[in-house]
Amino acid sequence: MHGLSETFPLDEASIHLALEKVPAEDPARIRELLAKARAMQGLDDGDLPPLMAIQNPDLLSELFEAARWVKDQIYGNRIVLFAPLYVSNLCANECLYCAFRASNRGLTRRALDQAELAAEVGRLLEQGHKRLVLVAGEAYPKEGLDYILESIRTVYGVRHGNDNIRRVNVNIAPLDLADFRRLRDAEIGTYQLFQETYHRETYAQMHPRGLKADFDWRLGCMDRAMLAGIDDVGIGALFGLYDWRFELLAIMHHARHLEERFGCGPHTISMPRIEPAEGSATSDSPPHAVTDGDFKKLIAILRLAVPYTGLILSTRERPEVRREALQLGISQISAGSRTSPGGYEETDLEGGAQFSLGDHRSLDEVVRELSETGFIPSFCTSCYRMGRTGADFMDLAKPGEIKAHCQPNALATLQEYLDDHASDATRHAAKLMMAESLAGMEDPVRRLAEGMVNRVKDGERDVFC
């Protein structure tokens, strides 16, 4: 039994050992593993190194094919959309890869006041967003965590015509148990935090000063969050700092630890790759840069290893990488993003930003492309508002029952977007895709979806089940 002070006991040595024992590429063994993955029960530690080592193009195609199949079985063709909302770039830490780090004197620093924040939310609502992730550096104005809590209240409180933000996820520095309880009470969706690297020595090199220099404080963060009653947590690593194979196995260990301890693993996993950040030599040439080929491989393996965990891809990635990644198992993407506080109000895309983006397209363009390529862009925020979080969500997700909610919710929220925000070209593309999706659905889910879409067409808003 774990005590309150216990944390995730990361066993680096066992990961190194697993990575050392990779056998020569054995097609029969790899196909056995892919067949196992298609049972959608996940994969074990020892299963990952042979998959990570695949070089043969035919076997690689089979890996991608298996990932696509598992994704289709569990998520169908839905892709959830969100945007980051940077409230402050003040930071006392010294992460070598980040433009917000304290010693970067060139950066224009800013913490939005509540009126500025409300204006940002207005801009996001104008675009059509319903789901945000609130992001900040680790140094708040004098109010400390109260600043974040007030910001969350502000975000939920902004109204713009028919619209409001319906789910606020947060990505802020680790808290203690008492503060995590306060964050839980602010009705956040997911609490997200990336370990950056699970490799202790690299972590120490990359985080030389500030509170973030404490590797163990960060490592135990999700245990504290879940102990405090936050059901949905999102983990991840910043790819490029250390060997991606090591990070992938460590993420698996972390997920398994949370599942064993709390009866529910992470709600999402993110896999940001390092992008160029102003004044950061490390970000210009990451020590273990991950190639596009390896990046696709790691997404596909994650999809097979943790089939029921959402996988998030941000606008750090270029459109062509995002297109391919969607086929391999990504379930949520950001769109129309800015990574500076006040960025949605401003025209200067890079000023005060945390890193530069790979995808500059608007939300409307992304919705159009998703529709044209057969995906249903979804603005659904139903689960957490219906109390389907943590283990309750997983209990529905695992037997596939969650789909009966997701498809209708995706279509109803997309209809809302089309009526209130879309360009003519996007509306046209999405209508064709929606008709096809409905035609391919079976009753009673199709009837439910049609009914919900028609209610939205008749003027009702925020229709969900």
Given the rule CB under 6 A, which residues bind ligand SF4? 91, 93, 95, 98, 100-101, 137-138, 212
Indicate whether 384 belongs to the interface with ligand SAM (CB under 6 A).
no
User: Among residues 33 and 172, whose Cβ is nearest to ligand SAM?
Assistant: 172
Among 315, 337, 354, 413, binds ligand SAM (CB under 6 A): 354
From the list ligand SF4, ligand SAM, none, partner contacted by residue 101 (C-beta under 5 to 8 A by kind): ligand SF4
The listed partner (ligand SAM, ligand SF4, none) that binds 190, CB under 5 to 8 Å by sort, is none
Query: Cis peptide before 84, with omega less than 30 degrees from 0?
Result: no
Buried b (16+ CB within 10 A) or exposed e, 255-264: bbbbbebbeb
Residue 387 CB neighbours (<10 A): 10
State the Cα–Cα distance between residues 353 and 372, nearest whole angstrom: 31
**Which of ligand SF4, ligand SAM, none binds 47 (CB below 5-8 Å, type-dependent)?**
none
Find the binder of ligand SAM among 77, 88, 171, 337 (CB under 6 A).
Answer: 171
The single residue among 140, 191, 308, 355 that binds ligand SAM, judged by CB under 6 A, is 355
List the single partner that 194 binds among ligand SF4, ligand SAM, none, CB under 5 to 8 Å by kind: ligand SAM
Q: Which sign does the torsion angle of CA 101, 103, 106, 108 carry?
A: positive
d(CA 331, CA 377) in angstroms, rounded, equals 10
Among residues 33, 54, 66, 98, which is the contact residue for ligand SAM, using CB under 6 A? 98
Question: In which element (H, E) is residue 389 found?
Answer: none
Name which position in 167, 207, 316, 322 contacts ligand SAM (CB under 6 A): 316
Answer for which of 147, 194, 308, 384 binds ligand SAM (CB under 6 A) is: 194
Find out whether 258 and 222 touch, Cβ atoms under 8 Å: yes
We find the least distance from the C-beta atom of residue 274 to ligand SAM, in angstroms, to be 4
Instruction: Classify the phi-psi angles of 418: left when phi > 0, otherwise alpha if psi is within -120 to 50, otherwise beta.
Output: alpha
Residue 360, classified by CB atoms within 10 Å of its CB into exposed (0-12), middle (13-18) or buried (19+), is: middle
138 touching ligand SAM, by CB under 6 A: yes
Decide: is 239 part of the binding site for ligand SAM (CB under 6 A): no
Q: Measured from the CB atom, is 98 or 170 closer to ligand SF4?
A: 98
Q: 3-class DSSP state for residue 235?
A: strand
Tell me whether residue 163 or residue 196 sits nearer to ligand SAM (CB atom).
196
**Of the candidate residues 8, 97, 140, 344, the single one contacting ligand SAM (CB under 6 A):** 97
Would you state the torsion angle of the CA atoms of residues 120, 125, 130, 135, taken in this order, to the nearest 10 degrees? -10
Instruction: Name the helix (H) or strand (E) containing 383.
Output: helix 382-385
**Interacting residue ranges for ligand SAM, rule: CB under 6 A:** 97-98, 135, 137-138, 171-173, 193-194, 196, 238, 272, 274-275, 277, 283, 316, 354-355
